[in-house]
Amino acid sequence: MASFNFETSPRIVCEQGSAARIGELAKGLGASHVFIVTDAFLHNSGLTKSLLAGLEAEKLKHTLYTDVLADPPEASVQAAVAQAIASGADAVIGFGGGSAMDTAKLVALLVRTPQDIPSIYGVDIARGPRLPLIQVPTTAGTGSEVTPISILTTPTDEKKGVVSSALYPDIAVLDSTLTLGLPPAITAATGIDAMVHAIEAYTSRHKKNPLSDALALQALKALHDNIRTVLAEPKNADAREAMLMGSLFAGMAFANAPVAAVHALAYPLGGRYHLPHGLTNALVLSPVLRFNQPAAAMLYAELERAL
């Protein structure tokens, strides 16, 4: 067996209603004042109520940042960092989809270890330490709660990534009740994104290893077995939880066996035309599978047998 290295977030909490426990979890990380990174829609829709109640129960101060934008621009992240510094927060919570969680990662890092964003694009350039970080996904798709990656949009509409072990969150909290109101189109697009993470991790020629393979297979099965159910029964909390677990497994897999051509083609489409990431993945998935088939047919067959 070839040698390999595997990293992931050190703690995962999967429990329906666990958003109410985030105050307790943050306190366990030594927090006294948390900076919550989310978007206005999620907050105004009431989805943050249980989170805020849990913080109040633990007597933790909080500052709410609700200006997260889709495909977060550098300027948006810089604004969040400035507000976090001004607040005096000593921990960060990312609450939302990939954009909120990716923003939260960089806030946690840059508040503690200031760095110029354009200078840290790439792999293992950004340095730590960072503030304690808890991630709470409200979609089953990006897996950002267990990856060391933050994707931003540059002023020239390019998507670029910061990849560093310093970005792995301390705790990932999976609460399927937060996803029950997710619209069908977003459910489908984010579900496809997670599936692509699993497929590309399993067929990756770079850093593919037994752990990433096992996680990718389990991810694809969970997503395949439940995506139709959550589209037909959006309030099915157990199926929603299975989707969150599938997304998390896929995130753990591709964090260690990186994604490839589907994402390489999807990112420019998203950056240029501001299309949802899951949709751009879906648009290019079939052509990439056909292109890769001569080299990856056996691996694709193994994926099919796992379903």
Is residue 274's pLDDT more than 90? no
Q: Taking residues 202-225, report their average pLDDT.
A: 97
What residues form DSSP beta bridges with 152? 160
Using one digit for the tens of pLDDT, what is the confidence trace for 240-263? 999 999 999 999 999 999 999 999
Cis preceding linkage at 118, omega within 30: no
pLDDT at 271: 82
36 located within any domain = yes
pTM value is 0.96
Q: Taking residues 131-153, report their average pLDDT.
A: 98
What gap in Å lies between CA 257 and CA 197, rounded to an integer? 10
Q: Taking residues 269-294, report their average pLDDT.
A: 92
pLDDT at 109: 99
CATH for 222? 1.20.1090.10
Using one digit for the tens of pLDDT, what is the confidence trace for 169-187? 999 999 999 999 999 999 9
**Same domain membership, residue 106 and residue 41:** yes
**Same domain membership, residue 95 and residue 233:** no
Is residue 1's pLDDT more than 90? no
User: What secondary structure letter does DSSP report for 122?
Assistant: E
200 located within any domain = yes
129 located within any domain = yes
pLDDT at 2: 84
**Same domain membership, residue 170 and residue 32:** yes
Residues 93/22, Cβ–Cβ less than 8 Å: yes
230 located within any domain = yes
Strands 159-163 and 122-123: parallel
Q: Taking residues 147-161, report their average pLDDT.
A: 95
Is residue 235's pLDDT more than 90? yes
**Same domain membership, residue 75 and residue 32:** yes
Using one digit for the tens of pLDDT, what is the confidence trace for 38-67? 999 999 999 999 999 999 999 999 999 999
For residue 220, what are the domain limits? 184-306
Q: Edge to edge, what strands does the sheet with 91-96 contain? A: 11-14, 171-174, 133-137, 91-96, 33-37, 61-65
- DSSP secondary structure, 144-195, as one string: GGG-SEEEEE-TTS-EEEEE-GGGS-SEEEE-GGGGTT--HHHHHHHHHHHH
What gap in Å lies between CA 176 and CA 279, rounded to an integer? 22
The mean pLDDT value of the chain amounts to 97
**Same domain membership, residue 196 and residue 148:** no
- Residue 295's pLDDT band (cuts 50, 70, 90): very high
What gap in Å lies between CA 28 and CA 31, rounded to an integer? 7
- Residue 292's pLDDT band (cuts 50, 70, 90): very high
Q: In the chain, where does DSSP find H-type helix?
A: 22-28, 40-44, 49-57, 74-87, 98-112, 184-203, 210-232, 237-256, 261-273, 277-306
